[in-house]
Copies of this chain bind each other. A is one copy, B any other.
Amino acid sequence: MSDVARTAGVSVATVSKVVNGRYGVAQATVERVREVIHQLGYEASLGAQSLRSHRTNVLGILVAEFEPFSTELLKGASKEVAGTGYQLLAYSGGDADGTAVGWERRSLARLSGTLIDGAVIVTPTVVETKQGFHVVAVDPHTGPSGLPTVDSDNFAGAVLATNYLLSLGHHRIGHISGRPDLESARLREAGFRRAMADAGVAVDERLVRVGGFRVESAAATAAELLALPDRPTAVFAGNDLSAISTMDVARTVGLTVPDDLSVIGFDNIPESALATPQLTTIAQPLQRMGAEAMRLLIDLVGGVERDLHVRLPTELVVRSSCAPHTPSTGPDRPPTAGAASG
């Protein structure tokens, strides 16, 4: 900026005024400075600018890592933000294995005082709101209470998934649950149990295990499940990543999906359609969730009064990873003719 000032023969203060369109600068000066700025390709440093002004027109989206779930949100957020005059800054603050708790607090602390005017945080577990700084949570720990939130109807989705499996005649249904600290994971398990109860099918507790929503941990859990003497004939995985992991493990131990094992996921990340076989799953409107979260944040920053909680519907997407339960599928059932249907 001092370069610009020197070249244009004015002070940095004047340049600053021109850059920020403040009143009180002669038209001729404005034009001269503009010209120099253009020539020199000057652009204000985000760091310095925000340090001083506490307003940057940059909105943050904080994630642990850039995986399919968060990048889908990002696509939606990006579309929503286009044309609003805000820019988007996505920050990945998780560490190596993505398990470190507290990344959300750290990232927020690093960016919030400066740099960004507000933030969307993806699957946060603990976030104490700094006052005067706006935060929106997507799929958080605490559920609807507390922070402004965007999520989907996890409970209903889980019921949908479980009922679908039941309707195919499955009874020994396993559930690989997600991160126990996430409300969504708890609701999915609760939905699973509700649907089973409503159908009068007892849940075998040995078939319900934590998978943690991540590829490696879910694979370990799936391996345990499938090694059981009376293994499940169907698995409802807590998310698509776990489901895809489960299918991989099934293949490894010589099981064919969906003939020997039906698998259903949750999320409908694009990767679920790329899996072999293509994954049947419960769709969350991921991009829309990202967009809604940004909209909510923009409204908050702009002081717009509005509903602080957005819940979007889920739906069943039938692809090829589930099949009717047949006698030959079950390790424990005596042969019965015909496919069951509910």
25 residue pairs from A and B, CB less than 8 Å apart: A41-B105, A42-B109, A43-B106, A45-B110, A45-B113, A45-B115, A47-B111, A47-B114, A66-B71, A66-B74, A66-B77, A66-B78, A66-B90, A68-B75, A71-B74, A74-B74, A82-B94, A82-B97, A89-B90, A89-B91, A90-B90, A115-B115, A270-B270, A270-B271, A273-B274
Residues on B with beta carbons closer than 8 Å to the beta carbon of A146: none
Residues on B with beta carbons closer than 8 Å to the beta carbon of A110: 43-46
Residues A48 and B114 in contact, CB atoms below 8 Å apart: yes
Beta-carbon contacts of A256-290 to B below 8 Å, as 1s and 0s?
00000000000000110110000000000000000
Residues B115 and A98 in contact, CB atoms below 8 Å apart: no
Residues on B with beta carbons closer than 8 Å to the beta carbon of A114: 45-48
CB distance from A237 to the nearest CB of B (A): 19
Closest to A63 in B: B78
Residues on B with beta carbons closer than 8 Å to the beta carbon of A228: none
A87 to B96, CA, bound (A): 10
A49 to B66, CA, bound (A): 25
Closest to A46 in B: B110
A97 to B78, CA, bound (A): 11
A211: Cβ under 8 A from any B Cβ: no
A51 to B52, CA, bound (A): 11
State the majority secondary structure of interface residues on A: mixed
Closest to A109 in B: B43
Beta-carbon contacts of A95-125 to B below 8 Å, as 1s and 0s?
1111000000110011101110000000000
By the criterion of a CB under 8 Å from any partner CB, how many residues of chain A are at the interface? 49
Which of B50, B83, B98 is within 8 Å of A82, CB to CB? B98
Residues on B with beta carbons closer than 8 Å to the beta carbon of A45: 51, 109-110, 113-115
A109 to B47, CA, bound (A): 11
Closest to A42 in B: B109
Residues on B with beta carbons closer than 8 Å to the beta carbon of A66: 71, 74-75, 77-78, 88, 90
A140: Cβ under 8 A from any B Cβ: no
A205: Cβ under 8 A from any B Cβ: no
A50 to B50, CA, bound (A): 12
CB distance from A128 to the nearest CB of B (A): 8
Closest to A115 in B: B47
A65: Cβ under 8 A from any B Cβ: yes
Residues B41 and A51 in contact, CB atoms below 8 Å apart: no
Residues B65 and A78 in contact, CB atoms below 8 Å apart: yes
A2: Cβ under 8 A from any B Cβ: no
CB distance from A17 to the nearest CB of B (A): 19
A90 to B93, CA, bound (A): 11
